[in-house]
A and B are shown apart, each in its own frame.
Chain A
């Protein structure tokens, strides 16, 4: 009991997800589940559906069919082949369970760094200002940005902005944190500082799903790697196996292209 069973607790699950934009089938019957404390990296070529998968998981896109669950909260089910979303109250509850870090950061430019991090806990979770501020400062310290609390996002580098965005997501105390290509908008020099904080979170057993093009990072930080192509999961498993000894021809080809 205790630790063992906690570790195998499923925090997030999506089953048989289908999503198309017009004629374009972006997700073809995809299932993913994530256990507590697990770090899952999703890799694959552009247009493979990995970002769409994340956007469906976070309700930024609606799925056509399938099921989405956050632990005990079911957000979407399917009847007669069509997705049925639960009431907005249920979706709101599910929304509290996850956080999302965007490729383009999407910080609120008119809020100071501190307000970016503490506003949602106050406005949405109705925490006291004092508690939210203390928590926000603690997170900013962890991100190495305590001296930037009074700055505005426009005054920060991309890497700093993305670390604020991570702090903002963490301030809502999500059970699972999604990253949508968190370093794709950054130059290589700034990528490192963002990857460092994600690694720190992984060491703290934060449950995370990371869509990324940073292969060495995915290999190092993840417990599991999912390789997607053409709207399906081609291969999935331990990072050493997927990267070191891929089974599928498509995976081998993709990784070969990447190393060149």
Chain B
């Protein structure tokens, strides 16, 4: 098999990897905000359950979580849903990353001086305005480096979809490698991940720059 054939066989896998990546971010970034708010709830039952959720998401391997999401409909309810594979992947990735994002958001919010809330309160801002106008923009600035870390990890973690036999770039590389007894597909996959992360780092740096308009 020629290099160009290998590459063109792997390109659909690259798109699938990108699909996991972007859809996970699309769901997990806002979901993390919800998880963080539940975590900070003043009702102990809600914050307690959320804490347990975060502990499980962070305390068990993502690969195991993916398998659980994929197989539980069948083992628990004897359900077999067609086309569920990709949904299970998104479910697993989004919930897992939401838990991590939630903790990053929480750290960012707790770093905001209490004086910001007090100034907003005395000026008469509503709780909603205070959060979205005063607090959140400052939080985003402080947490961007931590978010960058997670996003870079996500690029590489997409390869875990391999465990559900989803043909993203890593799965295809493995297949071609065995059938052709060649190391080249792994090199191609490696370069793909590296370039993807280079782009991520570049984009996040630009974003950080955009928030440097104030200190």
Residue ranges of A at the interface with B (Cβ–Cβ < 8 Å): 58-60, 92, 95-96, 98-100, 102, 104, 106-110, 119-120, 123-125, 152-155, 168-169, 172
Apart from A110-B214, A125-B124, A172-B124, 17 more pairs, CB < 8 Å:
A60-B118, A95-B122, A96-B124, A102-B119, A104-B113, A106-B113, A106-B116, A108-B116, A108-B119, A109-B215, A110-B138, A119-B133, A124-B124, A124-B129, A152-B213, A168-B123, A172-B123
Is A110's CB under 8 angstroms from B141's CB? yes
Q: Give chain A residues whose Cβ lies under 8 Å from the Cβ of B14.
A: none
Query: 13 A-B pairs, CB-CB below 8 angstroms?
Result: A58-B122, A60-B121, A95-B124, A96-B124, A104-B113, A106-B115, A106-B119, A119-B133, A120-B124, A124-B123, A124-B124, A153-B214, A168-B123
- Bits for B120-151, please: 1 = Cβ < 8 Å to A, else 0: 01111100010001100110010000000000
Decide if the interface of chain B is mainly helix, strand, loop or mixed: helix
Instruction: Name the contact of A123 in the complex, choosing from B121, B129, B141 (C-beta under 8 A).
Output: B129
Q: Give chain B residues whose Cβ lies under 8 Å from the Cβ of A110.
A: 137-138, 141, 214
Q: Which residue of A lies closest to B213 (CB)?
A: A152
- How far, in whole Å, are A76 and B30 apart by their CA atoms in the complex? 39
Q: Which residue of B lies closest to A95 (CB)?
A: B124
Q: Which residue of A lies closest to B126 (CB)?
A: A124
State the 4 A-B residue pairs at the shortest beta-carbon distance, nearest first: A154-B215, A106-B115, A106-B119, A152-B214
User: Which B residues, 168 to 215, have Cβ-Cβ distances below 8 Å to chain A?
Assistant: 213-215
- How far, in whole Å, are A108 and B133 apart by their CA atoms in the complex? 10
